[in-house]
Structure 1
Amino acid sequence: MREAVDDFAGHLAAVRNRSAHTVRAYVGDVVSLLDHAHRMGCAELPELDLAVLRSWLAKQRTMGAARTSLARRAASARTFSAWAHRAGLLPADVAGALSSPRAHRDLPTVLRADQAAALVEAPGRFAPAVPPSPPAEGPSRPSSPAREGSQSSTPDGKGPQPSSPDGKGSRPSTPTDDGSGPASPGSSDPSPAADGVAEAVLLRDRALLELLYGTGVRISEACGLDVADVDHARRVVRVFGKGGRERAVPYGVPAQRALDEWLRHGRPTLAAPHSRDALLLGARGGRLNPTTARRIVGGYAAATGLPPISPHGLRHSAATHLLEGGADLRAVQELLGHSSLASTQIYTHVSVERLRTAYRQAHPRA
């Protein structure tokens, strides 16, 4: 069975071109399934049947797994079963008839337009309320989360991820760092050099926030950008999203100003030999880590007195404000990089004010 799991992981990565997060999630689910099957007396993979699959899901439910987790694990089981049948490891696709609970989908949390404006303008007015954390070393392009609403790492089965988790393939590796402040926690008399780094970090934070809200890109996509991905003349950023799908996303004048300030006065201060082409850098010169970027967004939200918000919350806010401003749903789908319009339609449930406006304008009894 171990060999089958290894072959399945290779199939997901090499043939289906799934992201590292997706492969990890699928393989973890399959290992759990096969362990449960072994405990039920299935010594060989061909002995796996629908009853074992249902027993496995029932056990997960009794252990407190959420509906979304059960839906994901059922999807993993179906994918594995179909692959094993095609590979001749199973006499039939035993999971073809496996049903799963429909995942509950919460409405996304969004900021009002004035709250979003206050957040992106916070750098320079407030210090981010985040503690320093140790740097993390890793590949240049952070892997894209496998799920959109969440940005959780559950598999969504969407698209390929070629040779690196982010789908951009063969770009050279750049260490990531935590992007925390320039001075050590115990320093009390920062040097002029430290002041320069602190100012550069603020410019970086402003560029990050303007980019996230101005384009609606995912946090992994923002941190994975290179300098060459920004087309200043057309005010467009080239983004490689889930499955390595490339799209061009426009950004506005405020984001352009923030990026120009960062590239002219901030990035040169933080840049190091290992920075290479990364657009957003941490305080130590490595590519900005998505985990740190989430802390930055949450820290400024706390300092500004806003509700708790994540980078994905800014993405939700951008999509909602676009729809409330009259943008076409298909256009918003393209901007967000959704492969299915169903993923974009959730934002129509958030735009209640837009519905009220349309009602007042169109209904004769309004």
Structure 2
Amino acid sequence: MATNKDAFRDYLQLEKKYSVHTVTAYCNDITSFELFNAAHFDQSNAEQVNYNQIRSWIVSLVDAGVSNTSVNRKMASLKAFYKFLLKTKQIQISPLLKHKALKTQKLLQIPFSEKEVVDVLGMVQSAGDFEGIRNKLIIDLFYTTGIRRAELIGLKIANVDLSNSTVKVLGKRNKERILPILPVIKQQFLFYLKERASLLFIEDWDYLFLTKKGLKLNDSFVYRLINSYFSAVSEKVKKSPHILRHTFATHLLNNGADLNSVKELLGHSSLASTQIYTHSSLSELKSVYKEAHPRGRK
């Protein structure tokens, strides 16, 4: 018999078009809450709880050392669940109606410098085998297109159109966008595809990027790849695929790209999402302004 949680999972996947990763995270949060309720209140049905029970869970999470950011994410999962129950008339009022998110400190995400990117690409250039060629293309594709990690992993051979120098990306909520690729990246694609075709065994044939065993890449593989290379040239705290995407946007803005164009390339639904990348550009702008203005040189 299907449960409300099963229906919620279908709703997220089929109607909201959320990724498998996001749907799993939401449902895992709800399951964790149900387990907490069963242990502390002898009640496993999340549909019948009150806010005091939710608050008890929040306190237990904080006491266990879970960050405010992670707690807020779990609350977002619960909020989405109760919103669904309201929509399907399973409940009359959400127990999270008056809940306020915990305060979090916004951490500045510092992009890589142009030199750091060049140094990494120079480092990986020396490896001319399948993995080296693949890794260089992955790093350069992140840096020159701003593609998300999940989008890169999900790229298929059919998504690459070298005759038009474009790749088709399936973004959040299954929104497609076409990204241009530079001539140097097109050449790297040709090198990689040649090496890829020489693999002895390929299981996930449709997917563009593979391990040397012919399998589709996963999230942790791509994270480790980026973190490993950039750890060799950068002392920045965060070294991830998302920081490379952040670097792409920042460098474009620093070199005169308009915000709306960057928004389209990143696949953002609103300019507000893109504006978080402007802080570094503002820093660059201040430096140029100070050097260029007669009063700034005094």
Fold in common (TM above 0.5)? yes
TM category, shorter? 0.7 to 0.9
User: Shift of the alpha carbon at 1:47?
Assistant: 4.0
Secondary structure of the structure 1 residue equivalent to 2:169: strand
1:299 and 1:63, CA in 2 relative to 1: closer, same or farther beyond 3 A?
Answer: closer
Corresponding residue pairs, total? 292
Aligned to 2:110: 109
- Structure 2 unaligned residues grouped into runs of 5+: none
Relative to the length of structure 1, the TM-score reads 0.71
Provide the residue aligned with 2:123 in structure 1: 122
How big is each residue's C-alpha offset from its partner over 1:264-297, in whole Å with a ceiling of 9 and x where there is no partner? x312222645342322222122223342233332
Secondary structure of the equivalent of 1:94? coil
Equivalent residue number for residue 11 of structure 1 = 11
Encode CA deviations 1:217-263: one digit per residue, 9 max, x unaligned.
11221122122212223322111111111111122232222112222
1:130-279 aligned at under 5 Å gives the runs 199-263=129-193, 265-270=194-199, 272-279=201-208
One-letter amino acid matched to 1:23? V
Inter-partner Cα distance in structure 1 for 2:43 and 2:24: 24
Q: Distance in 1 between matches of 2:248 and 2:119?
A: 14
* Structure 1 unaligned regions, length at least 5: 128-197
Q: Which residue of 1 aligns with 2:226?
A: 297
Map 1:313-352 → 2, pairs under 5 A: 313-351=243-281, 352=283
1:63 to 1:291, Cα distance in 2 relative to 1, 3 A: closer
Residue deviations 1:28-56 (CA, integer Å, cap 9, x gap): 22223333444235576564222322332
Match of 2:24 in 1: 24
Kindly report which structure 2 residues correspond to 1:84-95, keeping only aligned pairs within 5 A, or say none: 84-95=85-96
Q: Residues 307 and 271 of structure 1: is their aligned pair in 2 closer, same or farther, counting only changes over 3 Å?
A: farther
Inter-partner Cα distance in structure 2 for 1:321 and 1:261: 26
Query: For the structure 1 residues 78 and 223, does the alpha-carbon distance in structure 2 shift closer, same or farther, using more than 3 Å as the test?
Result: closer
Report if aligned partners of 1:240, 1:246 keep a CA contact under 8 Å in 2. Answer: yes
Counterpart CA distance in 2 for 1:218 and 1:115 is 20
Rounded to whole Å, the distance in 1 between the matches of 2:56 and 2:202 is 54
Change (3 A) 1:323 1:45: closer
Query: Which residue does the alignment assign to 1:34?
Result: 34
Match 2:209 to one of 270, 273, 280: 280
Deviation at 1:112, TM superposition (A): 0.9
Contact 2:290–2:296 (CA<8 Å) still a contact in 1? no
Q: Out of 249-258 and 286-295, give the one that drifted further.
A: 286-295
CA distance in 1, matches of 2:52, 2:260: 42
The structure with higher relative contact order (CA 8 Å, sep 6+) is: 1
* Length-normalised TM-score, structure 2: 0.86
* Cα distance per residue 1:286-309 (max 9 Å; x no partner): 22334223333233334x533362
Amino acid corresponding to residue 215 of structure 1 in structure 2: T
Partners of 2:219 and 2:190 lie apart in 1 by 22
Q: C-alpha separation between the residues in 1 aligned to 2:108 and 2:294? A: 27
Structure 1 residue matching 2:123: 3-state secondary structure:
coil
Q: Distance in 1 between matches of 2:154 and 2:200?
A: 16
User: Structure 2: which amino acid aligns with 1:66?
Assistant: S
> Contact conserved, 2:116 with 2:230, CA < 8 A, in 1?
no
Residue 103 and residue 344 in structure 1: after superposition, are their counterparts in 2 closer, same or farther (change >3 A)?
farther
- Give, as a single letter, the amino acid of the residue that structure 2 aligns with 1:300: Y
Distance in 1 between the 2:294 and 2:76 partners? 44
Is the alpha carbon distance of 1:62 and 1:91 closer, same or farther for their aligned partners in structure 2, counting shifts above 3 Å? Answer: same
Mapped partners of 1:212, 1:23: distance in 2: 25
CA RMSD of aligned residues (A): 2.6
1:266–1:286 CA distance, 2 compared to 1 (3 A)? same
Judge conservation of contact 1:227–1:279 (CA < 8 Å) in 2: yes
Given the superposition, is the C-alpha separation of residues 228 and 42 from structure 1 closer, same or farther in structure 2, using an over 3 Å criterion? Answer: closer
Q: Decide whether aligned partners of structure 1 residues 290 and 52 sit closer, same or farther in structure 2, where only a CA change above 3 A counts.
A: closer
1:41 and 1:273 map into 2 onto residues whose CA distance is 50
In 1, Cα distance between equivalents of 2:118 and 2:47: 58
1:270–1:282 CA contact under 8 A, matched in 2: no
Return the alpha-carbon distance in structure 1 between the equivalents of residues 247 and 44 of structure 2.
51
Which letter maps to 1:353? E
> Residue type of the partner of 1:109?
I
Q: Matched residue of 2:177: which SS?
A: strand
Q: Does 1:311 align with 2:253?
A: no
